[in-house]
Structure 1
């Protein structure tokens, strides 16, 4: 046996994602590189670790056993690395954060300097939909979550980072007046919604319910990026977070349509379960955020004030 830690990591990721393509994406490697390392790893065993049926990759029972062992080995390697850094007086460990999809435009700016200051910290950031974010928080699987609408059923503590502003957005094929439209405009527009459970969807529906707006035509998509591409293609209009459309506005590909009652204002908040005992890494990040959040918001998100 002459396998490497890199091969163990690749094999474990293939097992977790059940595809070479997704494993390559998550590891930031090319698909051929992952395939070669997977083949080299498998060749060291007399029994197959995976098998292809049709076009789908399956993990054999033996492969699952090897994956469990690989995970234990890698956890011990992480522990050794963290202990080495700790003896050097450096902060080390994992920081786990779950982020709603649009939050990927926000949180990296609040992490960048902290991560550069503490290179011994391993960041695990899961970008997913709101339901999964809240589940991971409720199950105590993460240190923090980033949301724009607070969960009703959880007792959480929070730090507010920046405002979240949602506008009615369309492409630039049609010209709209600068003066505010009334809610009757929505009768004319085909609207694109996020999926149920999305924070953007919740904010949008609350606005419609509050203003007694009944939507006749609508399309439902599962990410803000998909909504944005659909708007660019001329499939409809949507109420979207400003944070995710900066480049398209500056490039005159999208436009904000002025409607009475908009924008909807919510807040991007870093939240955690009340009473949670933070690790030294999580505690340090919390202190950093409390101290630096105003400076980061002012320097990175000042463009917000144009809208």
Structure 2
């Protein structure tokens, strides 16, 4: 046997993805390069690691055992690297953060300088909807979660990061005489929703219910980017977080339509379970945020002020 650590990493990632194409994307490699390395890895075993059924790739039972062994080996190598850094007096470890989908426009700015300071800390971010974010925290799968609405059933600690404002947004082609306009506009224009479980959708529905707003037509899309493109194309309007439409506002592809009762204002919060035993890396990150968050907001989000 003469396989490399790189081959083990590729095979483990491929077994998790069940896809060479996705593995290549995540590992920043070409698909042929991944295929060659996986073939070289397979050549060292007399039993197949994978099989193709109906043009779909599957990992065999033997392959799954090899993947489990590969994961253990990689974890041990990472542990050795972390111990080396510890002896050198450097911070090390992993931070796992689950981020509500709109939070992808926020969280990287609160992470960048920390990771420049602490090169021994690795980062894993999962960007998904609010329901899945809460579920991952409930299962203790992450250190932190970024949310705009606190989960009701979990006991969490929190640190407030910045305001999250949601406005009624339409394409550049729309013209309105009065400002602000009545919420009756919801009867005139199709309204584009995010999917069930999205915090943005929840806030939209609260606003509509509270103000007894009749909706003319409802369209549902499954990501902020999809909603954004649909609004630009003139498919309808939506209530959207300001943080996600900076470029489209500046390019005048979208416009904020002043509506009575809007914007909706919430707060982005980094939360963690009260029972969570935080790693040294996680503790250091909270200390970093307490010292630097105001400067991060000033440096990166001052563009929001004219709209607020």
Match of 2:148 in 1: 148
Deviation at 1:178, TM superposition (A): 6.0
SS at match of 2:111: helix
Q: Would you say how many aligned residue pairs link Structure 1 and Structure 2?
A: 307
Cα distance in 1 between the residues matched to 2:247 and 2:55 = 38
Cα distance in 1 between the residues matched to 2:249 and 2:188 = 23
Match of 2:299 in 1: 299
Match of 1:225 in 2: 225
Deviation at 1:174, TM superposition (A): 2.2
Which structure 2 residues correspond to residues 253-292 of structure 1 after superposition, within 5 A?
A: 253-292=253-292
SS at match of 1:183: coil
Cα distance in 2 between the residues matched to 1:40 and 1:236 = 52
Cα distance in 2 between the residues matched to 1:301 and 1:281 = 26
Match of 1:85 in 2: 85
Q: Is residue 66 of structure 1 aligned with residue 50 of structure 2? A: no
Q: Is residue 131 of structure 1 aligned with residue 131 of structure 2? A: yes
Match of 1:45 in 2: 45
Match of 1:242 in 2: 242
Q: Which moved more, 1:236-245 or 1:173-182?
A: 173-182
Deviation at 1:162, TM superposition (A): 0.7
Cα distance in 1 between the residues matched to 2:98 and 2:170 = 30
Match of 1:175 in 2: 175
Cα distance in 2 between the residues matched to 1:94 and 1:72 = 16
Q: Which moved more, 1:215-224 or 1:32-41?
A: 32-41
Asked whether the 8 Å contact 1:50–1:58 carries over to 2, the reply is: yes
Cα distance in 2 between the residues matched to 1:259 and 1:37 = 57
Match of 1:7 in 2: 7
Q: Deviations over 1:24-68 (max 9, x none)?
A: 222232322222222221122111111111221111111101000
Deviation at 1:238, TM superposition (A): 0.7
Runs of 4+ in 1 over 6 A off after TM superposition: none
TM-score (norm 2): 0.97
TM-score (norm 1): 0.97
SS at match of 1:301: helix
Q: Which moved more, 1:96-105 or 1:36-45?
A: 36-45
Cα distance in 2 between the residues matched to 1:249 and 1:100 = 22
List gaps (5 residues or longer) in structure 2: none
SS at match of 1:170: strand
CA RMSD of aligned residues (A): 1.1
Which structure 2 residues correspond to residues 16-27 of structure 1 after superposition, within 5 A?
A: 16-27=16-27
Asked whether the 8 Å contact 2:95–2:282 carries over to 1, the reply is: yes
Match of 2:205 in 1: 205
SS at match of 2:234: coil
Deviation at 1:233, TM superposition (A): 2.0
